[in-house]
Amino acid sequence: MDQQDQAMNLESLERVYTNYSSVYDLTFGQAFDQSRESAVKSLQLDPNDKVLEVGVGTGMALPLYPRHCRIVGIDLSEGMLKKSKERIAKHGLDHVTLQRMDAGQMDFEDNAFDLVMAAYVVTAVPDYRKVVAEMIRVCRPGGRIVMLNHFSNGNKFIAAVEKLISPMCQRIGFRTDLSLHRVLEGTTLRVTKKEKMNPFRYWYLVECTNAKNGRQRS
């Protein structure tokens, strides 16, 4: 883990997000509604696809998934999961189940999912390498791993500002200094789509094939 990783730990993150859960939808949650919706719509899921939503939060994306799929949402924060449960009940989402789990150490079998989605998560975990490795492990060979996230900018000036503000941002649960290159290096992920997303075209939708065991998307 680098210095930035160490500044976040699971216990304090759980506290931050649980404290934040009652206002999340009205603040950060709402600001990303549009990109969350276009990200989920673009997935083109097949009937019976099994989808894992990592860091499901208050479950804002859950009503957007087609009912012909099985969706499993995991999160570390009790407070966020409580809101997700309320949303599932409100919308009658029988195809969705939730579990409290650390994304860096999942209880699932290898290759259990066709698609793993992480929306605004890889920069909100203490150790993104562990989380990405786990997403790869639980996604089947040739399956898809999709990240909707901010990744640090190639522009030197903006990257310097992002690095500077990252320690402050970590107090409120995320970092700003992580590049897509760092997230992907040494992994079996092959980028198949990379699109800028709102707000401000500052976020990215990155879709990857899980090419472990040499398998490209099937």
Choose which of 4, 29, 62, 212 interacts with ligand SAM (CB under 6 A). 29
CB of residue 174 vs ligand SAM: minimum separation in angstroms?
A: 6
Residues 119-158 contacting ligand SAM, CB under 6 A: 119-121, 124-125
Tokens of 44: 């083109």
Q: In this structure, are residues 189 and 145 in contact, taking their beta carbons and an 8 Å threshold?
A: yes
Tell whether residue 203 is a contact of ligand SAM (CB under 6 A). no
112: which residues sit within 8 A by CB, 6+ positions away? 50, 52, 138, 140
d(CA 117, CA 195): 15
Query: How far is CA 17 from each of CA 21, 26, 83, 188, rounded to the nearest angstrom?
Result: 6, 14, 11, 30
Beta carbon nearer to ligand SAM, 60 or 139: 60
Q: Which stretch binds ligand SAM (CB under 6 A): 62-70, 71-79, 162-170, 179-187?
A: 71-79
Beta carbon nearer to ligand SAM, 36 or 140: 36
CB of residue 82 vs ligand SAM: minimum separation in angstroms?
A: 11
Choose which of 43, 69, 72, 75 interacts with ligand SAM (CB under 6 A). 75
CB of residue 124 vs ligand SAM: minimum separation in angstroms?
A: 4
Reference 194, options 186, 205, 202; nearest CA is 205
166: which residues sit within 8 A by CB, 6+ positions away? 4, 175, 176, 177
Q: In this structure, are residues 145 and 135 in contact, taking their beta carbons and an 8 Å threshold?
A: yes
The residue count for the chain: 218
Q: Binding mask 4-23 vs ligand SAM (x if CB under 6 A, - otherwise)? A: ------x--x---x------
Q: Binding mask 93-122 vs ligand SAM (x if CB under 6 A, - otherwise)? A: ---------xxx--------------xxx-
Q: Which stretches of the chain bind ligand SAM, using CB under 6 A?
A: 10, 13, 17, 29, 36, 55-57, 60-61, 74-77, 80, 102-104, 119-121, 124-125
